Amino acid sequence: MSDARTEIFSRVHKALGRESLSPEQRKSLDERMASAPELIRPQFSDDLVKHFAKQLESVSASFVRVKNDAAIVSAVTEHLDSLGLKHNLVVAQSLKDLQWPKNFEIHSGRARDNDLVSVTGCFVAVAETGSVVLLSSPESPTTLNFLPDYHIAIVKSSQLVRHMEDAWTELRQLPGGIPRTINLISGPSKTADVEQTLQVGAHGPRSFHVVFVE
């Protein structure tokens, strides 16, 4: 429908009281796009990890801190056991080869409807908001973040950034360009649509647990 496009642009030009932009105007807008002006960032002074943990708690996510990679499996196991969950997991590709105990059933790939628990890594995590940022890829399909009832995300200390803008700085450096989906996850799925009463587990995970590796 190119004529609708033409007409909408001519309506916009008319409303703005001008024709297309001059090359100079265009150039200055191109420059703004290439290097966005520095915008206001909410300041916080407490320690980055502490702030991240505090924010996660305020959005009903749970958080545990472990010393090193070797402790990930036991942290995940403890979490599963505390919730009385079976040791069946769908995991992101990068986590498949951790030293999972023999009795664990582990598969990777996209999540299916009957997958109850997923374990993923992340791209970065944002202390400002307590958000874990995941990028879609063959190794980390988006369904892992939404179909299972329980989502556990592994965040390494090197992945923790202060503000959301810091996540974009890293994103812009990705050689493959922007992925199909960027998820900022800040807590479990919830709804207040019945009488304004907050209830977790609307359509996505009922619980969101972060294992933070120092």
Q: Which of residues 189-208 bind other proteins (CB under 8 A)?
A: 189-197, 199, 201-205
Segment 29-48, which members bind other proteins (CB under 8 A)? 29, 32-33, 36, 39-40, 42-43
- Residue number with CB closer to other proteins (68 or 173): 173
Pairwise CA distance, residues 138 & 33, whole Å:
30
Put residue 71 in one of left, alpha, beta given phi > 0 → left and psi -120 to 50 → alpha: alpha
Told to check if 1 binds other proteins by CB under 8 A, we report yes
The whole-angstrom separation of Cα 59 and Cα 71 is 25
Chain residues 165-194 in contact with other proteins, contact rule CB under 8 A: 165, 168, 171, 176, 178-194
Q: Which residues are 89's β-sheet partners?
A: 106
- Coil, strand or helix: which one is 178? coil
| Contact of 208 with 188, CB cutoff 8 Å | yes
Burial class (CB in 10 A: 0-12, 13-18, 19+), 24: exposed
CB of 43 to other proteins, least distance (A): 7
131 binds other proteins (CB under 8 A): yes
Smallest separation (angstroms) from other proteins to the CB of 107: 12
- Stretches 46-54, 69-77, 97-105, 123-131: which one binds other proteins (CB under 8 A)? 123-131
Choose between 8 and 70: whose C-beta lies nearer to other proteins: 8
> Exposure of 8 by Cβ count < 10 A (0-12 exposed, 13-18 middle, 19+ buried)?
exposed
- Which residue, among 175, 97, 92, has the nearest Cα to 132 in the 3D structure? 92
Binding other proteins (rule: CB under 8 A), the pick from 16, 68, 84, 158 is 16
Min dist CB 191 to other proteins, Å, is: 5
Counting contacts by CB under 8 A, is residue 12 touching other proteins? yes
**130 touches other proteins (CB under 8 A):** yes
- Segment near other proteins (CB under 8 A), from 9-17, 64-72, 78-86, 96-104? 9-17
Q: How many CB atoms lie within 10 A of CB 73?
A: 18
135-164 residues in contact with other proteins (CB under 8 A) are 136-138, 141-143, 145-147, 163-164
Q: Is residue 83 within the footprint of other proteins (CB under 8 A)?
A: no
Does 11 bind other proteins (CB under 8 A)? Our answer is yes
Euclidean distance between CA atoms 91 and 108, whole angstroms: 5
